[in-house]
Amino acid sequence: MGVLRLLLAATVWLTACASPAPAVGSSGPSSPTPSVRTDRVGNVLAPLVDDATWARLAAHRLRLPSLAAGAACPVTPAVPITTFVGPVAGPGPVYSIGNRIFYSRAPDGSLFTKVAWLSRPDYKDAALIRGARIDASGDVRFQAGGGPITGELRFDYDTGTRSQGSEEGWRFLPSTVVIDGPGCYAFQVDGVDWSLTIVMDAAANP
């Protein structure tokens, strides 16, 4: 029994000695490199935004402006910044294309409109879009790509959409926005270290 214990102790000691020591100045093992995503034929796909990043963006508190009932809606001005889309609203790096909501009524009675979002080529990270009515109580919900209707819209690294004639690097995110009724709505767009607000008014589609 004593010989067996000595052999086991020697084995453990040799294994420990064989383990490589951390490099000088290293604090431990490095973070794993994200695996490369490819499609069936080997084309490299853009990485996915991890859940931790979405959670950080969702942790930004909504800071939407308030508006007294009957007051004029302070619509965010829309200005042209490219030649391949119409005027956009907001200071960027993520914009809405257009600054007004013209909604239609779905068979189930809900009110919806199409809103497209645009990101500058020099901004390559994710963004989270949320909103609410600001002249009365009312929610905003979103749908992208035929997915579920939720209270937030995720602007991913790769939206899979390009506008005809657009320059390389611009990212587009088409979406359906569901609202409660005509009025004034504000949208908050959050990046990891920035936040912006875009205000639109909503009226029935003429």
Query: Average per-residue pLDDT in the chain?
Result: 81
Question: Any idea which architecture 51-204 has in CATH?
Answer: Sandwich (2.60)
Inform me whether the pLDDT recorded for 76 exceeds 90. yes
DSSP bridge pairs for 171: 119
Chain center to CA of 154: 3
* Alpha-carbon span 120 to 205, nearest angstrom: 29
CA distances from 162 to 67, 84, 97 (A): 36, 11, 14
Cα–Cα distance for residue pair 116/138, rounded to 1 Å = 21
Q: Indicate the SS3 state at residue 128.
A: strand
3-state secondary structure of 15: helix
**Which ranges of the chain would DSSP assign to H, the alpha helix?**
2-18, 51-58
Q: What is the pTM of this model?
A: 0.76
Q: How is residue 185 written in tokens?
A: 């709505």
Contact 58, 152 (CB under 8 A): yes
User: Could you read off the pLDDT of 86-125 as tens digits, one per residue?
Assistant: 999 999 999 999 999 999 999 999 999 999 999 998 998 9
pLDDT on residue 203: 95
